[in-house]
Chain A
Amino acid sequence: MAWRILRRNPVAMAALGLIALFLIMAVLGPRLRGIDGGVINVKAKNAPPSRELWFGADDMGRDLFSNLWLGLRVSLTVAVVCGAAQIVLGSLIGGLMGYLGGIVDVVIMRVIEIISSVPGLLITMIVMMILGNGVLSLLLAISITSWCGTARQIRGQIMQLRETEYILAAETLGAGAWRTITRHLIPNTAGIIIVNLTSSIPQYIFMESGLSFVGLGLQPPNISLGTLIASGQVHMDFAPHQLLFPCAALCLIVLAFNLLGDGLRNALDPRLRR
């Protein structure tokens, strides 16, 4: 149902296509031109875009086209892993809170409130300090606060659903807990989860590149869009391509996820559908 509505939305479909393209390029892109992004080429130092080097080269003569897709790979990894962590942890904890209620609910709710009162970026930075720089610690540090919002919303939705008449009807007709959860609770929370996910993925991507930009996420020689942008800022006067290409990639991927998210929200929310 939602898919059919989404398919008729050209903007959302274009965004979906763009994301698919980026996914493919993140896998194939670094090898597409046959130039190893790690190879230092003194002759191509700060070279502008050309037929040989499509996106130019950086200050050590490394091919930016290959490295851009390597950086995008990190962004998409962050999006997928942290998004998955958010969903799994969020629905598990939120479901537990909503289903059990009582003291479990009160305690976890307080924990969520406390975590949410500090900007997630601060917590992520402190955790990065403990774990050190690296992709794995970055994923963990971003995931650590990711579940709070989802858990709170899932909890609310489940509490609301448990009061509804059709759940009551299902239970009086003899449906067990398993059937209630799989047939009624999960399908009814899927919408929240998807909307939640599409609105937080851009934030994860942005957080990764921002942290790497200020030197707290990945650090060279590791490549992410953030480190590329950071070195691009240094050379922006005489080699603007080093700044503009990674910035454009970051904007496009965030834009694509945002537009897809808007489309999904419209498709899934029956109140917006008219």
Chain B
Amino acid sequence: MGFLKYALRKLGLMVVTLAIIASATFFLVNAVPGNPIAARTLRMPETVKAELYAKYGFDKPLWPRYVITMRGLLRGDFGMSAVYEGDTVPNIIASKLPVSARLGLQQMLVGVTLGILLGVVSALKNGRAADFAIIALAAFAVSIPQLVFSLLLQKFFAGAKTGLPIIGWSGFKSTILPTIAGAFVYTSFYARLMKSSILDVIGQEYIMTAESKGISGFRVVTRHVLRNAFVPIITYLPMTVAMCVTGSFFVESVFTIPGLGYYYVKSVQQRDLSMVMGLTVFIAALLLAVVFVTDILYKLVDPRIRLERAGKR
């Protein structure tokens, strides 16, 4: 019962937060000087101009527009793109999301898995050459901006030699370089995180208890150390997804991948206000949802919290 109440409270808070973010975005976006259709309507007759202004709602004052926009958001109506004629914002998001989602998932799958593996090796070989090499490599990799790494991959590994396309998004081959470009950030981040998490757990008393009971080293590691070391890792899930969103702006721009990040940048460049508004709200909602799921997962996974609940019964 307590758990359900907790979840509902979090959900309510999330909706309020999203409403505030949407409002703030609306007013920020409307503070942008000029509007995206001004250039287009410059040489049109007055009546057509007025009609076009009415179509995008630029004929109304700020507050009524705010009410219309917020009402629209509630119904899932994000409005029309001012640049891509005749396309609604949800349509554009729906067509670009699968691209970004696939790229992001591939990056996380490769990057996080490799990072966790390296972190485990480094923690178990703590202080030895393997550990030193991994940690030095991770520290070095953190310093290479994703942008530079993407460009270097593109320069040296794309083209005729490897058969990997330089830009674009068609087929598995074109996803390889962008995936590596995004994955290495997670690898270095998770390798360090996993190592410190494991070292924390190894220092705990229950590990000594397990060892003194005569459990083999391998079993102690798999049954006790790793299970507990994974708990704090979960809290970094929202950060990982946020990193993925931020990274996608640059990786997608370098490789010209038609995903959400690339179109966000384009919309900002073209002052496509309704697109910027819609994409920002969408990304914010996505991240809030991840935070929510993480909170719930954390409650479910942490053995200490579970024990507490069992004890009460």
Chain A interface (Cβ < 8 Å from any Cβ of B): 113-114, 117-119, 121-122, 125-130, 132, 202, 206, 209-210, 213-216, 229, 232-233, 236, 240, 243, 247, 250-251, 254-255, 258-259, 262
B146 surroundings in chain A (CB, below 8 A): 206
Decide if A214 touches B265 in the complex (CB within 8 Å): yes
Q: How far is the CB of B238 from chain A (nearest CB, A)?
A: 9
Decide if B32 touches A130 in the complex (CB within 8 Å): yes
Which of B21, B25, B155 counts the most chain A CB atoms within 10 A?
A: B155
Q: How far is the CB of A52 from chain B (nearest CB, A)?
A: 25
Give Cα A254–Cα B242 distance, bound, in whole angstroms.
21
Known A206-B145, A229-B147: A130·B28 in contact at CB below 8 Å: yes
Give Cα A62–Cα B231 distance, bound, in whole angstroms.
54
With beta carbons under 8 angstroms apart, the residue of A126, A240, A258 that contacts B143 is A258
B269 surroundings in chain A (CB, below 8 A): 215-216
Cβ of B20 within 8 Å of any chain A Cβ, yes or no, is: yes
B246 surroundings in chain A (CB, below 8 A): 119, 121
Known A214-B249, A216-B268: A251·B283 in contact at CB below 8 Å: no
Q: How far is the CB of B247 from chain A (nearest CB, A)?
A: 10
Decide if A129 touches B271 in the complex (CB within 8 Å): yes
Decide if A114 touches B21 in the complex (CB within 8 Å): yes
A262 surroundings in chain B (CB, below 8 A): 139
A233 surroundings in chain B (CB, below 8 A): 151, 154, 254
Decide if B17 touches A213 in the complex (CB within 8 Å): no
With beta carbons under 8 angstroms apart, the residue of B142, B249, B276 that contacts A258 is B142
Chain B interface (Cβ < 8 Å from any Cβ of A): 17, 20-21, 24-25, 28-29, 31-33, 139-140, 142-148, 151-152, 154-155, 242, 245-246, 249-250, 253-254, 264-265, 268-269, 271, 276, 280, 283-284, 287-288, 291
Q: How far is the CB of A152 from chain B (nearest CB, A)?
A: 15
With beta carbons under 8 angstroms apart, the residue of A209, A213, A243, A255 that contacts B155 is A243
Known A213-B253, A216-B265: A130·B31 in contact at CB below 8 Å: yes
Known A119-B242, A129-B268, A130-B28: A214·B139 in contact at CB below 8 Å: no
Q: How far is the CB of A226 from chain B (nearest CB, A)?
A: 8
B284 surroundings in chain A (CB, below 8 A): 117-118
Q: A206-B146, A209-B147 are in contact. List 18 more A-B contacts (CB 8 A).
A: A117-B284, A118-B283, A119-B246, A125-B264, A126-B25, A126-B28, A126-B276, A202-B143, A209-B145, A214-B253, A232-B151, A240-B155, A243-B155, A247-B152, A251-B145, A254-B145, A255-B140, A259-B139
A119 surroundings in chain B (CB, below 8 A): 242, 245-246, 283, 287
Give Cα A126–Cα B74 distance, bound, in whole angstroms.
22
Decide if B151 touches A114 in the complex (CB within 8 Å): no
Count of CB-CB pairs between chains A and B under 8 Å: 102
Decide if A247 touches B250 in the complex (CB within 8 Å): no
Cβ contacts A to B, 28 pairs, < 8 Å: A117-B284, A117-B287, A117-B288, A119-B246, A119-B283, A126-B276, A129-B268, A129-B271, A130-B28, A130-B31, A130-B32, A130-B33, A132-B33, A206-B145, A213-B147, A214-B253, A214-B265, A215-B269, A216-B265, A229-B148, A233-B254, A243-B151, A247-B151, A251-B144, A251-B148, A254-B144, A258-B143, A262-B139
Find the B residue at minimum CB distance from A252: B143
With beta carbons under 8 angstroms apart, the residue of B28, B140, B152, B155 that contacts A127 is B28
Give Cα A216–Cα B20 distance, bound, in whole angstroms.
25
Decide if B147 touches A118 in the complex (CB within 8 Å): no
Give Cα A269–Cα B113 distance, bound, in whole angstroms.
30
Known A229-B148, A250-B148: A117·B21 in contact at CB below 8 Å: yes
